[in-house]
Amino acid sequence: MKADTSKYNNSHLDTAIYEHIADYIIHVLIKEDVNAFNESKLLSELLVYKLPSVVHELMYRTICAEAGKLKGGEDINLIKEIGGINTQKRLHFRSQDQYNSFVALFFDALEQHPGLLEKVDDEEKFEKFMIYCIHEFRQKLEGFAIEIVKEHSKLEQENRLYIHRRNSPENVDIPTYADFIAGRIDGLVE
């Protein structure tokens, strides 16, 4: 079953959510390769445009996977898995608004599919479930960004562009980070 993303395209609140999620992805790109900073404005615009078609489905699939684990009898141990709620916020998110955007996305997915909470029977378990789903979702976005940086860096290294940053050879055409993201972001939900 596919999550309905048609209702997420024009709301001002949703635009803010996408901007914070885009900021998270860009932060990971820059952390992995400082040269991505040059494209940060373009990447932000591209991601805000592209994310609505991807993130709702990705969050839905993440919640389904974690709900399936709960149905299978597994328990969520946040301390063991990710270091707890406060550790999650402090280590991975740049602001409370960024974290809240991930939470809002989680709740949007649950509003669309309330049956996913079948095995979540108390508030503490729900909170653990939410934090764990956000963690897994964040890991997928981070893995996506890191993979793009690896591939981009490999192309730069093969063409020795790191030596000729300012005066790059004219016959070498390396895709930008925006090109990589535009071509691969839909693959996040496949």
Q: Which residue has the higher pLDDT, 176 or 76?
A: 176
pLDDT the model gives residue 161? 66
Q: Which residue has the higher pLDDT, 119 or 186?
A: 186
Task: For residue range 127-173, list pLDDT tens digits in order.
Answer: 888 888 898 999 999 999 999 999 988 988 887 666 555 555 565 67
Exposed, middle or buried, 71 (CB in 10 Å: 0-12/13-18/19+)? Answer: exposed
Task: For residue range 20-57, list pLDDT tens digits in order.
Answer: 999 999 999 999 998 889 889 999 999 999 999 899 99
Q: What distance lies between CA 53 and its chain's CA centroid?
A: 13
- Tell me what percent of the residues of the chain surpass a pLDDT of 90: 37
What mean pLDDT value characterizes the chain? 82
- Tokens standing for residue 72: 């299978």
Q: How far apart are CA 23 and CA 160, in angstroms?
A: 29
pLDDT the model gives residue 144? 95
Pick from 52, 184, 118, 156: which is nearest to 126 by CA?
A: 118
Query: 74 falls in which pLDDT band (50, 70, 90)?
Result: confident
- Tokens standing for residue 31: 């952390």
Q: How far apart are CA 130 and CA 127, in angstroms?
A: 5
- Please tell me what DSSP assigns to residue 172: -
pLDDT the model gives residue 67? 86
* Alpha helix positions (H), 72-95: 78-82, 85-92
Pick from 166, 179, 185: which is nearest to 42 by CA?
A: 179
Q: How far apart are CA 56 and CA 17, in angstroms?
A: 11
Q: Which residue has the higher pLDDT, 95 or 77?
A: 95
